[in-house]
């Protein structure tokens, strides 16, 4: 059965975006190779994306992707079912089809899981959507790539405190870029 995974990058101080929702600190990040004695592992986004069957995001994340498309990009999730949680009407991307819905994650969960099949349902962002899944007891894993920058303020990884027990660390993967991917399983 599919697992619900919140996969995101965050600053060392816990933010996924700056206060104005920009992420140049991430998209413009230049690798800083780890120090001597740190054994790194290849992998990351491409490896993760191969295991994705469907996606869900909030409207701010979706609008950021649309802005990227307008600057010459293309819809990055072609061929995969995608939901955007929003109370507003939002336009469809060129080259992709998105269900923009004003509904709770509990109302959509079974439909999204069925669409993901044996692959993962990716909670793309942001912290509010991830918190909704966690609050409903529907979040299985949190995979976060820590980027070695400090923002001071911004949009947090989660919008609220998570219910339940602390998460269980399942992997710590240092990357050649100087980032580290931490994988946690949500304990219920």
* Residue that wins the pLDDT comparison between 44 and 114: 114
Instruction: Give the C-alpha separation, 6 to 25, whole Å.
Output: 20
Band (97; pLDDT cuts 50, 70, 90): confident
Band (73; pLDDT cuts 50, 70, 90): confident
Percent of the chain with pLDDT over 90: 86
Structure tokens at 1: 């059965």
The DSSP 8-state label assigned to residue 138 in this structure reads: -
Residue 70, H or E segment:
helix 59-70
CATH number assigned to the domain with residue range 4-180, chosen from the 4 options 3.40.50.720, 3.30.750.80, 3.40.430.10, 3.20.20.70: 3.40.430.10
Q: What does the domain layout of the chain look like in residue ranges?
A: 4-180
Residue 163 pLDDT exceeds 90: no
pLDDT in tens, 30-58: 999 999 999 999 988 999 999 999 999 99
User: Phi, psi (5° rounding) for residue 166?
Assistant: -60, 150
Band (94; pLDDT cuts 50, 70, 90): confident
The DSSP 8-state label assigned to residue 154 in this structure reads: S
Extended strands (E) in the chain: 4-11, 15-17, 52-58, 82-85, 99-101, 120-125, 141-147, 155-156, 168-174, 180-185
Residue 74 pLDDT exceeds 90: no
Residue 70 pLDDT exceeds 90: no
Residue 95 pLDDT exceeds 80: no
Q: Which residues contact 90 (CB under 8 A, 6 or more apart)?
A: 59, 62, 63, 66, 84, 98, 100
pLDDT at 69: 86
Residue 71 pLDDT exceeds 80: yes
The overall average pLDDT reported for the chain is 94
């Amino acid at each position: 059965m599919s697992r619900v995974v919140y996969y995101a990058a965050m600053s060392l101080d816990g933010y996924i975006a700056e206060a104005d929702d920009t992420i140049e600190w991430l998209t413009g990040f230049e690798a800083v190779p780890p120090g001597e004695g740190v054994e790194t592992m290849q992998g990351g986004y491409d490896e993760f994306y191969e295991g994705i069957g469907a996606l869900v995001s909030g409207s701010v994340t979706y609008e950021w992707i649309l802005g990227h498309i307008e600057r010459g990009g293309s819809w990055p999730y072609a061929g995969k079912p995608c939901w955007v949680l929003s109370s507003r009407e939002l336009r469809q991307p060129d080259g992709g089809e998105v269900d923009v819905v004003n509904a709770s994650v509990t109302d959509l969960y079974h439909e999204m899981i069925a669409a993901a099949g044996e692959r993962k349902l990716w909670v793309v962002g942001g912290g509010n959507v991830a918190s909704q899944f966690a609050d409903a007891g529907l979040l299985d894993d949190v995979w976060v790539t820590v980027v070695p920058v400090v923002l001071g303020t911004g949009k947090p990884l989660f919008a609220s405190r998570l219910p339940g027990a602390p998460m269980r660390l399942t992997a710590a993967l240092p990357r050649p870029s100087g980032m580290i991917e931490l994988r946690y399983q949500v304990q219920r």
